[in-house]
């Protein structure tokens, strides 16, 4: 086994892939969606972002994807300040982020293979690279045998795995999952989370926005809690709510 | 190669969109077809009417008569000067004898003509017969000739040339308005078709944008759809017009034979040769513009509405 370059590894792990510096977002309707939010997410981290409806989670995702811009403050994603990104470069920028939605968002008229291949076609991949990568990623999510199935022939959990395969196939730096277990039963939810954990262990930064308390508590990952547009808690090995955390600590 | 493959993919998606949205696509193609058929018919009628007018115009002429005692040499001198005038296409010298012969032939019986013997009552009526290139310049030319010394009178009907110019101007004005209106109708119907297609594929566009598709990649299938609507909407009426022209041409020949020269239509190759590329460019251009403008607005709006 070769020697590990500690400094290199340290720098790698200390590079923020997402950085919010005093970010506020006020919509035209007058709603303050986020107020003075600051945090860093480093390369290779697994982070849960939790909070009630209207707490600012969706705005936070939109800011990461440059779907909206901050009213004040700066948002950096994979080294780019989103405000400075020109329209022409947004497409390339988004290829570094894989997104998974609660409602899977698969193309209903195309089979599993084509749904995943779609992400490769968009980046104009070579046909042989496309075939190789799609097969590899379907194997990773355990759906190689379902390559020719249509989305309607799959269970919810399987559909979410296809969506994850599509998000993964372009080797993103960040995997952004918006309520990935929202439409799934507990078993499928655990399976999806295990898969996300596996993806994270392979080096991809994973950010999960969720309401699922059990999953958050079970996974023992970093948790950022939003309330009324502000970060009220940011813990390295957190739980969904403070009461549970205290109870857990007391028990331990 | 990479871009060619992507282009191929987008073209395939464009056709697929055309099929998925076939009812609207058909309506658009039918509208473009109707528009081009009307434009084509109008254009062919215009071309043939103009051709007939040109023929009539070139026969518009004037006759110049001279004062008594003006020598034939002087008349021929004036003739050679007039031949150099740009607006004049032809000048013919009609001698007094020739004029008398023509008069006798057109207006007298042989017996009446014979009674004159060798007398020529028109001996002072040598004239110049002038044909113009364009009827519009007739009045000015006639006025100038009247000022030439030795000229007694110039016979010229101004109303004929003015009427011909008026007819042409009217045809051009009506054609411009009609073509403009039809183009606008086609344009807006293609826009509606493309907008409907975009709505049907909203989900797909949203996914494309989130996984990093460029604007062009998302818009190209719709532009292909628009171009194809324009192309089909143009090609079908061109075939219909081509076929109909032959039918009309044959019908006119059958009805009138060669009795009236002006009833002969212009050759089909001449008419279609000029119209075909312009018509295709027109319909494809409308399809491209309408779809491009719609795709740019709508696709880009959907591309930022993911949550």
Q: What is the DSSP letter of B266?
A: P
Report pLDDT digits (tens) over A98-118. Answer: 999 888 889 888 999 999 999
Helix H or strand E encompassing A76? strand A72-77
Query: Is pLDDT at A4 greater than 70 in this prediction?
Result: no
Tell if the CB–CB gap between A94 and B210 is shorter than 8 Å: yes
**pLDDT, position B235:** 92
Give CA–CA dist A233/A50, Å, rounded. 10
N residues, chain A: 252
Residue B164 pLDDT: 67
pLDDT tens profile A26-63? 988 888 899 999 999 999 999 999 988 888 998 999 99
Which residue of B lies nearest to A93 if distances are taken between CA atoms? B212
B203 contacts in chain A (CB < 8 Å): 105, 107
- pLDDT classification of A7: cutoffs 50, 70, 90: low
Cβ atoms of A77 and A64 closer than 8 Å? yes
DSSP bridge partners of A42: A16
Nearest to B211 among A67, A87, A94 (CB): A94
Quote the distance between the C-alpha of residue A211 and its chain's center. 14
* Residues written for chain B: 307
B211 contacts chain A (CB < 8 A): yes
- Would you call B243 an interface residue with chain A, using a CB distance cutoff of 8 Å? no
pLDDT at B95: 85
C-alpha radius of gyration, chain A, whole number: 19
Left, alpha or beta for B70 (phi > 0: left; psi -120 to 50: alpha)? beta
By C-alpha distance, which of A175, A182, A177, A224 is closest to A201? A175
B16 touches chain A (CB under 8 A): no
Closest C-alpha among B43, B129, B135, B116 to residue B82 = B129
pLDDT at A2: 47
Q: Which two tokens stand for residue B253?
A: 């020949």
Instruction: For residue B261, give the DSSP letter.
Output: G
Residue of B7, B210, B219 to mutate for A, most A C-beta atoms under 10 A: B210
Q: Which residues of A24-40 are buried (b: 16+ CB within 10 A; e: fewer)?
A: bbeeeeeeebbbebebe
Nearest to B306 among A67, A92, A124 (CB): A67
Q: B140 phi and psi, to 5 degrees?
A: -65, -45
Write down the ipTM of this complex.
Answer: 0.79
- pLDDT beneath 70: ranges in chain B: 1, 54, 56-60, 135-136, 157-164, 257-263, 304-307
Kindly list the residues from chain B whose CB atom is less than 8 angstroms away from the CB atom of residue A61.
Answer: 307
Q: Closest Cα of chain B to A10: distance in Å?
A: 30
Place of tokens 């979410």: A160
Name which of B47, B88, B62 is nearest B156 in CA terms.
Answer: B62
pLDDT of residue A1: 43
Distance CA B246, CA B268 (A): 7
Distance from CA of A160 to the nearest CA of B (A): 14
pLDDT digits (tens, 9 = 90+) for A171-208: 999 999 999 988 888 888 999 999 999 999 989 999 99
Cβ-based contacts of B2 with chain A (< 8 Å)? 124, 126
């Amino acid at each position: 086994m070769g020697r590990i370059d500690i400094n290199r590894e340290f720098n790698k792990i200390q590079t923020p892939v997402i950085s919010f510096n005093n970010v506020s977002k006020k919509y035209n309707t007058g709603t303050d969606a986020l107020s003075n939010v600051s945090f860093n997410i480093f390369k290779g981290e697994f982070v849960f972002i939790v909070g009630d409806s209207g707490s600012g989670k969706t705005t936070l995702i939109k800011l990461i994807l440059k779907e909206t811009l901050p009213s004040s403050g700066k948002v950096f994603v994979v080294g780019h300040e989103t405000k400075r990104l020109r329209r022409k470069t947004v497409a390339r920028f988004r290829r570094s982020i894989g997104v998974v939605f609660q409602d899977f968002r698969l193309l209903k008229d195309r089979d599993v293979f084509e749904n995943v291949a779609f992400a490769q076609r968009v980046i104009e991949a070579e046909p042989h690279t496309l075939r190789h990568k799609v097969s590899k990623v379907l194997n990773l999510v355990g759906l190689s045998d379902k390559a020719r199935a249509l989305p309607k022939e799959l269970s919810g959990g399987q559909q979410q795995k296809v969506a994850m395969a599509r998000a993964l196939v372009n080797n993103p730096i960040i995997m952004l999952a918006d309520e990935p277990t929202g439409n799934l039963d507990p078993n499928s939810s655990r399976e999806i989370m295990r898969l996300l954990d596996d993806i994270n262990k392979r080096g991809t930064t994973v950010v999960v926005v969720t309401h699922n308390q059990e999953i958050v508590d079970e996974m023992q990952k970093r948790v950022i809690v939003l309330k009324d547009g502000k970060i009220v808690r940011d813990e390295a090995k957190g739980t969904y709510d403070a009461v549970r955390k205290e109870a857990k600590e007391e028990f331990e | 190669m990479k871009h060619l493959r992507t282009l191929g993919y987008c073209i395939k998606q464009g056709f697929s969109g055309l099929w998925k949205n076939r009812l609207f696509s058909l309506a658009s193609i039918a509208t473009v077809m109707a528009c081009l058929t009307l434009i084509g018919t109008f254009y062919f009628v215009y071309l043939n009417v103009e051709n007939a007018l040109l023929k009539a115009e070139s026969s518009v002429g004037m006759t110049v008569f001279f004062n008594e005692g003006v020598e034939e040499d002087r008349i021929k001198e004036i003739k050679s000067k007039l031949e150099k005038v740009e607006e004049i296409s032809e000048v013919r010298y009609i001698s007094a004898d020739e004029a008398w012969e023509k008069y006798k032939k057109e207006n007298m019986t042989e017996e009446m003509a014979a009674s004159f013997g060798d007398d020529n009552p028109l001996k002072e009526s040598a004239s110049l017969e002038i044909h113009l290139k364009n009827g519009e310049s007739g009045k000015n030319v006639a006025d100038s000739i009247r000022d030439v010394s030795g000229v007694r009178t110039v016979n010229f009907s101004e109303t004929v040339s003015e009427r011909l110019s008026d007819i042409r101007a009217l045809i051009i004005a009506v054609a411009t308005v009609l073509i403009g209106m039809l183009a606008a109708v086609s344009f807006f119907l293609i826009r509606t078709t493309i907008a409907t297609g975009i709505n049907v594929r909203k989900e797909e566009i949203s996914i494309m944008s989130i996984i990093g598709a460029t604007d062009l990649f998302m818009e190209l299938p719709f532009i292909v759809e628009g171009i194809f609507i324009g192309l089909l909407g143009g090609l079908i009426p061109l075939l219909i017009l081509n076929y109909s022209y032959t039918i009309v041409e044959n019908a006119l020949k059958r009805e009138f034979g060669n009795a009236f020269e002006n009833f002969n239509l212009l050759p089909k190759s001449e008419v279609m040769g000029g119209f075909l590329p312009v018509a295709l460019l027109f319909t494809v251009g409308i399809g491209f513009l309408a779809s491009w403008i719609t795709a740019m607005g709508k696709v880009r709006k959907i591309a930022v509405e993911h949550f």
